[in-house]
Chains A and B, each alone.
Chain A
Amino acid sequence: MFIDLLIMLVMAYGFGFLYYGLYRNISARVHGRFGPSLAQSFYDSIKLFTKDTSTDFGWMFFAGPIIMASGAILTVLFIPYFNHGERLVGLSPYGNLIVVLYFMVLGPLGNALGVGSHGNPFGAMGITRGLTRLLGLEMPFYIAVVGLMIANESADIGTIMANQAETYNIIAHPLLFIAAFISFLGFLGKSPFDVVGAPQEVYSGPAVEFGGKFLALALSQSAIFSFAKLLLMVDLFLGGADSLWDLILKTFVLFVASVFVGNVYGRFTTAQSVDFLLKVPTVIAIVGLLFV
């Protein structure tokens, strides 16, 4: 059990950063550049762990990234990696989808607590943007997830995966998938929903006062968290994974789809993104709910 948890974490860290490296690489090719090496994000994170931290705004400032990291780690541990239910199921027998949804918002809240203690206006702006966006994101995602729960008469991720043995939910409930996918793009924080840390507007937003080890922690948790969200989407809509290759293939396809969307569309403003999220995907999700 303990070894399983460790493997899950290491895999999430590894794949999270690998995919982030791929994201940078693909974006570079879209811009007509070569881009950094695939392992660049690992180098960045290890280098940041070896750096000093020059800021101190009291213990709450340091607790912020730690709460964020625990949110991400707990999320990934409650999502089973495979659908046969033998290995790498983590803590999922002890908690269901509702627990996962709860842990998913722990990160932004921890972030807000940490940022609140340093009083940098750009941090506060970033957090306000993040929480406003979260408001828009949660609505369609929760409706889609509730739809799945009703269809499967269960809130257990394992059961939802097992019920997809014949048809994947992406085919059985396409509208729910579209709604969930759009808010998944927002959860990933990539363009067009990258309002939180927009470097040209709010100077990296919530991370503005973080440097060194705590920035490294924030980066690592975001890599782990991204992989957790990919996993959740694969589990809920693509029937989970049989084997490691299946897992890599499915998460990769989903990831590449999100990268392409991100590279085609420019950034929404905060108001636009909430407007869009509350209109388009929410309506799609409600219509999808009617078909369940």
Chain B
Amino acid sequence: MQKGFVAYNNEQKSLEAETEGIKNSQTLIQKAMNWFSARSMFVVAYGTGCGAIEMPPVFTSRYDIERLGVVGVATPRQADIMIVSGYCSLKTLRRVIRTYEQMSEPKYVIALGSCTINGGMYWDSYNTIKKLEEYIGVDMYVAGCMPRPEALIEGFVKLQESIRNNTIQPGYVKYREDYAYYQANQEKLLGKETQPVYEEDYAGMNLS
């Protein structure tokens, strides 16, 4: 017991030392940029599962998350954060991936509810995905079935802290660097047609 605890403690320390290293390697401009992106978050709320019902109270008078600089926007082009609120069926996953890829960097994902972590109560469903992080980069999980609005706010605060202190490797960086892994996972489920197929050269862009 004691031994295990010591081992755990050491591991924890080495992890923290690693993040300390990241923290100190930031330049002043990066620090300022991180501070601003933590202080102002535009959210596109993707209400996939039943957890979506907890989002309206977070954004309205009862919990008022605008205090923390978090506001909802209507389109992924303008968003910094996507909330995936619960289980994703295969059909939904396609849309989630497209929405995620339309957001401009730096972008973050909050996964809300147990369903996004390990499948939750849909752990043996033939039709929903089990781990969201196999398909897109996820930065913060909020556990619970369903999580209270306070939990979601806590998730936001934690995410803001980690962006400000640069203590995590953002999901979008992983997604960009490890794209082959994510793409293989996506294709295993959805087939080759995950990405939209553009047939014509639209407005002078080379899309091939």
A residues within 8 Å of B by Cβ?
A: 24, 28, 31-37, 40, 43-44, 46-47, 50-58, 61, 117-119, 199-200, 203-204, 207-212, 215
Contacts and interface: CB of A to CB of B under 8 A. Distances in A.
18 contacts: A32-B61, A33-B66, A34-B67, A37-B69, A40-B69, A43-B36, A44-B42, A50-B37, A51-B80, A52-B105, A54-B104, A56-B205, A58-B203, A199-B73, A203-B75, A204-B75, A209-B77, A210-B78
B25 interface: no
Contacts of A204: 73-75, 78
B203 A210 contact: no
Contacts of B77: 54-55, 208-211, 215
A55 B104 CA distance: 9
B134 interface: no
A61 B203 CA distance: 10
B203 A53 contact: no
A50 B38 CA distance: 12
Shortest Cβ-Cβ A-B pairs, 9 listed: A211-B77, A54-B104, A203-B74, A33-B64, A43-B40, A47-B36, A47-B40, A52-B104, A199-B74
B75 A208 contact: yes
Interface string B33-77: 100110110100000000000000000110010110101111101
Interface centre among A47, A50, A215 (most CB of B within 10 A): A47
A184 B43 CA distance: 31
Contacts of A51: 37, 80, 104-106
Contact of A215 (B71, B78, B103): B78
B30 to A, nearest CB: 10
Interface string B71-91: 111110111100000000000
A208 B79 CA distance: 11
A213 to B, nearest CB: 9
Nearest to A212: B104
A31 B61 contact: yes
B196 interface: no
